[in-house]
Chains A and B, each alone.
Chain A
Amino acid sequence: MLKINDLHVSVENTAILKGVNLEVKAGEVHAIMGLNGAGKSTLANTIAGRDDYTVTSGTVDFFGKNIFDLEPHERVGEGLFLGFQYPVEIPGVSNLNFLRTALNSIRKYRGQDDMSAADFMKLIRAKADQLGMAPDMLKRFVNVGFSGGEKKRNEMVQMAVLDPKFAILDETDSGLDIDALKTVAAGINAQRRDDTAILLITHYQRLLNYVQPDVVHVMIGGKIVKSGGKELAAELEEKGYAEVA
């Protein structure tokens, strides 16, 4: 599904990623753990296509395509989703309009017709309900006036509606109280299927108590220095990054 080979990335001429190798297959959940500045978010944003990240060498293969040949919105059409660490507020654009435009843009990319307004409303109401989002939040402007938890919940509703094949969730667990964390975890677990894959980026083991990863990677200094099973997360929590790596 996703294969990263010796990826080097700079931001404003400073090398951040220094040779990342990673392969995620369908049906798997991977977690990348690491301290601030290790390059975790850089990896997520590079895959999603933010333009202030410069790929200096290496490849990312996404469903057999060179991901860097695709514009950010085309990557989404191919099945990518990035859950933001800091979801952006967009005054004047309602959640409903945003999601409907997004869903129909993806359908258009895939050569499908627009989803009817009625079907869309049915879908989004069901997903919002599953994730405990109040219906009136859908009418509000995207993330405007949302609490930290509400923003992350909104990311989960977006993921559920857009139904990506491959989701990267960048620090989706940060700043959440325990109830919000459980909701987010439920959203992730609902998206976990044989035909999908998820890459979790996190500081802490906390989320991994609710979403069991198949593989855990430790990232330090722009490289993945160690990989293992879910027990690696517990080890990190106990002993700290310095000792484990």
Chain B
Amino acid sequence: MTKQLIEAYASQAESLHGILAGMDDVRTSAMSSFLEQGFPGTKNEEWRYSDMRAFHKKHFELVSGKSGIAIPEPLGDYCARFVFINGRYDEESSDIGQVWKDISIRPLANHFMANESRVDELIKGSDSVSLLNTALMRDGLVLSIPSNVGIGRPIEILHVMDGSDNAAAHVRHVIELGEGSSVSIIERFVGDDSAYWTNSVLQARITENAKLRHIRVQEEGANALHTAKAYVNLGGGSEYICTNVALGGAMSRFDANVRILMDGAQATVNGVALAATGQSHDMHTHVSHLSGNAVSEQVFRTIADSRGTTSFQGKVTVAEDAQRTLANQSFKALIFDKTAQANAKPELEILADDVKCSHGATVGQLDDKAIFYLTSRGIDPETARQMLVSAFVAEALEKVDFDDVKTSLMGRIASWMLERNADKGTGG
């Protein structure tokens, strides 16, 4: 990193001292670790498919205020909606409904103040982008679901960027599920056309027999950069079901880091990524089976149009003691022409002997025979392609349990396909 960049980030972190009580020391140490590492380059195997060039060139700075961008309609019925604009909680456009009666909702500041003595262990992430998030976080939600409380409708956390070029938002959410509780979180990201950066971290602790559904919808503005992490710890018999949908931005990356700590847990991490011309979406998973009798499933479906790129690096590790683990991973990519790219890198690291693990990765094109079959029944070619694309991604959206949310997502995928057809002129 250049001296200028180092100074810019260091002074930004310093300016945040006092903003989140109990955080100052943690910030300072995260910033110095970040400055040692710098942003990852393409030689870093973990980051080889993520185009990080912009980060090495310019400083993305925290911004204040909002310019009054229209807040989009929710994806579906919700029980509460929290809106963050430019990385700050926006009370005016949020709707906390009645859910506060059942669960505890706190701002990030209070969370760390209340746990000052163990902030270090509460904060997740040691890679450079997470460290920067720790050093520069200003806001976020802390949701605690009491034991045996089930929240039916999802909670939508909407992130809106309407800043300017080089604006950055570093948000962090903490979700804690008490024993036997359940909740559904939709994290959604939207923004204007400026070249901003969203850097988000969600950390979740799912205790015994609890269940977290996590739906991520990344529909950032066309020039945005998006990096995000989920750090999830699973207790005995608990369940984590994540569906990541990457649609927007110029470059996006999502890392799911899931640790199965106790027996009998289930982890599902699914994803859909659609890359139009010039877009790149990178999805990483690391599911660690540290305890046995647990199941992990991963289904990823991606589509890349001309000069679009989708990448998937999926790692499953099974510790020596994690006997009777079941782990499946399936990655399928469609590419629309020779300039489109799909990268897949499945990794299995198995130390236990009584396990069933599988992975598969395929890259192909839309089936011409299927298109002709559909058109030979009267369906126009645009609709035929749209049907095949919807069918292709459907498996990865299967775990989105809310019909209205699923319909919204399928609608976005259908219109993405219509735009592709329009780009290529009639008849595709």
The finding on whether chains A and B are genuine partners in a shared complex, rather than unrelated, reads yes
A residues at B contact (CB < 8 Å): 48-51, 71-73, 76-77, 82, 84, 87-88, 90-93, 97-99, 101-103, 105-106, 109, 141, 158, 162
Question: Can you name 26 A-B residue pairings with CB atoms under 8 Å?
Answer: A48-B376, A51-B372, A71-B427, A72-B375, A73-B375, A76-B375, A76-B377, A77-B378, A82-B376, A84-B376, A87-B373, A88-B369, A88-B372, A88-B373, A90-B391, A93-B388, A98-B377, A101-B379, A102-B377, A102-B378, A105-B379, A105-B383, A106-B378, A141-B391, A162-B377, A162-B378
- Asked if B392 and A90 sit within 8 Å, CB to CB, the answer is no
Give the distance in Å from the alpha carbon of A87 to the alpha carbon of B367 in the complex.
Answer: 13
Chain A, residue nearest B392 (CB): A92
Interface residues of B in 360-408 (CB under 8 A from A): 367, 369-370, 372-381, 383, 387-388, 390-392, 394-395
Given known contacts A84-B373, A88-B369, A90-B370, A109 and B378 CB-to-CB distance under 8 angstroms: yes
**Which listed residue (A51, A71, A90, A99) contacts B373, Cβ 8 A?**
A90
Residue among B375, B377, B388, B394 with max Cβ neighbours from chain A (10 Å): B377
Name the residue in B376, B380, B392 with the highest tally of chain A Cβ atoms < 10 Å from its Cβ. B376
A162 to B379, CA, bound (A): 12
Name B384's closest neighbour in chain A (CB-CB): A73
Could you tell me how many residues of chain B have their Cβ less than 8 Å away from some Cβ of chain A?
22
Kindly identify which residue among B367, B370, B376, B388 contacts A72, using a CB–CB cutoff of 8 Å: B376
- Residue of A49, A90, A97, A98 with most partner-chain B CB within 10 A: A90
Q: How far is the CA of A93 from the CA of B395 in the complex (A)?
A: 11
Cross-chain contact B387 with A91 (CB below 8 angstroms): no
Residues in chain A near residue B381, CB distance under 8 A: 71, 73
Q: Given A88-B370, A101-B383, 12 more contacts at CB 8 Å?
A: A71-B380, A71-B427, A72-B372, A73-B375, A73-B376, A76-B378, A87-B373, A88-B369, A90-B388, A99-B377, A102-B379, A106-B378
Select from chain A the residue with minimum beta-carbon distance to B377.
Answer: A102
Q: Which B residues lie within 8 Å of A99 (CB)?
A: 377
Minimum-distance CB pairs A-B, first 9: A92-B391, A76-B378, A102-B377, A88-B373, A106-B378, A72-B375, A105-B378, A73-B375, A93-B391
| Max chain B Cβ within 10 angstroms of own Cβ: one of A73, A97, A99 | A73
Chief secondary structure at chain A's binding surface: helix
Which B residues are CB-close (under 8 A) to A141? 391
Measured CA separation A162–B374 after assembly (Å): 13
CA distance A99 to B383 in the complex (A): 13
Residues of B within 8 Å of A105, CB to CB, are 377-380, 383
| Residues of the B chain whose Cβ atoms lie less than 8 Å from the Cβ of A91 | 391
Contact call A93/B376, Cβ cutoff below 8 A: no
Most buried by A among B370, B374, B383, B427: B374
Closest beta carbon of chain A to B376's beta carbon, Å = 5
Q: Distance (Å) between the CB of B398 and the closest chain A CB?
A: 11
Contacts of B370 in A (CB 8 A): 88, 90
Most buried by A among B378, B381, B392: B378
Q: Is A98 a contact partner of B395 (Cβ separation < 8 A)?
A: no
Q: Which residues of A contact B383 (CB under 8 A)?
A: 101, 105
CB of B387 within 8 A of CB of A73, answer no
Q: Bound state CA distance, A88 and B380, in angstroms?
A: 17
Which chain B residues (20-41) contact chain A, with CB distance < 8 Å? none
Rounded to whole angstroms, the CA-CA distance of A88 and B370 in the bound complex is 6
Q: Which residues of B contact A73 (CB under 8 A)?
A: 375-376, 378-381
Q: Residues of B contacting A88 with CB < 8 Å?
A: 367, 369-370, 372-373
Q: How far is the CA of A49 from the CA of B381 in the complex (A)?
A: 12
Chain B positions within 8 Å of A72 at CB level: 372, 375-376
Within 8 A of A (CB), among B221-249: none
Contact residues in A for B378 (Cβ distance below 8 Å) = 73, 76-77, 102-103, 105-106, 109, 162
Of listed A49, A98, A99, residue having the most chain B CB within 10 A? A98
Question: Looking at the complex, which one of A51, A77, A90, A109 makes contact with B374 (CB distance below 8 Å)?
Answer: A90
Q: Whole-angstrom distance between the alpha carbons of A98 and B384 in the complex?
A: 10
The chain A residue sitting closest to B301, CB to CB, is: A92
Q: Which residues of A contact B367 (CB under 8 A)?
A: 88
Taking CB as reference atom, which chain B residue is nearest A88? B373
Q: How far is the CA of A158 from the CA of B383 in the complex (A)?
A: 18
Q: Decide: A101 near B375, CB < 8 A? Known: A88-B369, A92-B392.
A: no
A101 and B372 contacting across the interface, CB-CB below 8 Å: no
Q: How far is the CA of A77 from the CA of B378 in the complex (A)?
A: 6
Query: In the complex, what's the smallest C-beta–C-beta distance from B299 to chain A, in angstroms?
Result: 12
- Nearest-neighbour CB distance to chain B for A107, whole angstroms, equals 9
The answer to whether B375 touches A71, judged by C-beta atoms less than 8 angstroms apart, is yes
Which residues does chain A contribute within 8 Å of B372, judged by CB atoms? 50-51, 72, 88
Given contacts A92-B390, A101-B387, contact A76 B376 (CB under 8 A): yes
